[in-house]
Each structure stands twice: as structure tokens, then as C-alpha cells.
Structure 1
């Protein structure tokens, strides 16, 4: 098995180690392997391929990190054929919530979510995906 070096903030590493201890993992490598498999498998649902999909994406970030808001605006414009609607609001004393309503293919939605996840200083990204061509009652929710 290959050994990989990963950089992460100390606080995240502490959470990772605590999670491993709390849930009976042998160590952080096992947690990272499982998380990687889950992340890579999120958009591999063959029932969603070649279908028109609706996606809802919520993004939470600290409003004092003004660069995140600019990056969200850039992504909205970069993917304007995918983004049907976008809503921005303030939550609590220090946070912003960005909601994106998407309509497109699995590949387009996964690319968009990936770009949001890769945005520095985003605190959380949650999304759900559902077919809109003969609506399937199976909801595919991910966080």
C-alpha cells in the first residue's frame, strides 16, 4: 500500500484523530481511506447517469472571509447555464449561507460541487440531487 503525505490544519487533524478514537478505527489512515472512497463514490450512481437532474447546494462561510463570497459569485457566473437560481442570506452573527438551485447532468453538478468544496474557507457544503425527468422518489442526499 502506498504512503501519502497530506497537509491539513491542526484543528482538522485533531478532529480526525478524535473521530478515529470515538468510532473504533485503527487510526487516521483508515478514516482517510473510507472518506476518500465515499467522496469518490458520491457521483457514481448509475441510476442518475444520462438523466436531467435538479441539485440543491448550500454553502456556509464566515462573512468576514469576503473572498469566499466573491468566489461564489465567480462560480455562479462560470456555470450560469447550470445555476437556475441563487440565494444569499446572513445566518447568525458571522455567517453567510449561499443556496444554489442547479439543473443539469450528473457530471455538471458534480463538477460544480467539487469546485465549491475546493474553495478555501468554506465551512460546510451540503447538497441533494434528484432526477427531474419522470421524478424518482429516491432522494440522493450527501453532505
Structure 2
């Protein structure tokens, strides 16, 4: 094994691994390891960008979650109320019988919005959270 390389094990649901394998095959990766390294680099880059943003922003949070997980809908609503100083509105969309998408429009201090992103991301049943800033530093 190369120096500086650490081998890890990851447990994944079969359907997630099957979808990952389909995507990496389509994109032409030579191995799962290569695709996972690329995915981790992208995750770190996105996190660093999120951490580097400062000041006032306007944006949208895209939250995908499994509504079958007990209490997840209530937690998402409660968090929006907890962060009512930055949450301006939200829209709920039914994706299929198991998954929902919540679009949460935000406006305010990036550090406060980052706190909401972190809390939503750590919520059991939330599958994905993406913050997209539409405008930086508004008056």
C-alpha cells in the first residue's frame, strides 16, 4: 500500500451502493476508491466554501428527507421556527411515496444560516442538504 494511504471500511445500504456503482461506471471511474476519493474531495471543497462565506447572504436550502422516519418532518418544521430570523419561507414537495423535498429560502448572517445547515444535516432521516447562495452581500 502507498505511504500516506489509509484503508477504511464503509457500510452502505445495497440500493445506495448499486446507484453509486451505476454512476461511477457511467462517469468512467476506474474504481470505487477513485470515485470515493473524488466525492470526498468535493465534499471537503463544498464544506470549505460554506465555512468561508461571511456576512449577509440570500439563498435557498434544498433538503431531501425520508418522511417515513418518525418525527423528521416535525424536526424540520421546528428548526425553521428556531431560525425564523433567517428563514423567510419554505415550500414542501412530495418526490415519491417515501421522500420529500423542502425548499427553505433564507436571508441573513451566513454564520446563522450555517448553523441551520449543520442542524438539518445531522437530523436522522434527512438524506441531503444543499445550500445555494443566490446573492452575496445585499444592502
TM-score by length of structure 2 reads 0.72
Matched, 1:119 2:123: yes
Q: 1:78 to 1:29 in 2, by over 3 A?
A: farther
Farther off after superposition, 68-77 or 111-120: 111-120
CA distance in 2, matches of 1:108, 1:78: 11
Once the two structures are TM-superposed, the CA of residue 134 in structure 1 deviates from its matched residue by 4.6
Q: 1:20 to 1:92 in 2, by over 3 A?
A: closer
Q: 1:50 to 1:93 in 2, by over 3 A?
A: closer
TM-score by length of structure 1 reads 0.70
Q: Give unmatched runs, 5+ long, in structure 2.
A: none
Q: 1:97 to 1:20 in 2, by over 3 A?
A: closer
Question: Given that residues 54 and 111 in structure 2 are in contact (C-alpha distance below 8 angstroms), is that contact kept between their aligned partners in structure 1?
Answer: no
CA distance in 2, matches of 1:106, 1:133: 10
CA distance in 1, matches of 2:56, 2:16: 36
SS in 1 for 2:85: coil
Tell me how large the CA RMSD over aligned residues is. 2.9
SS in 1 for 2:10: coil
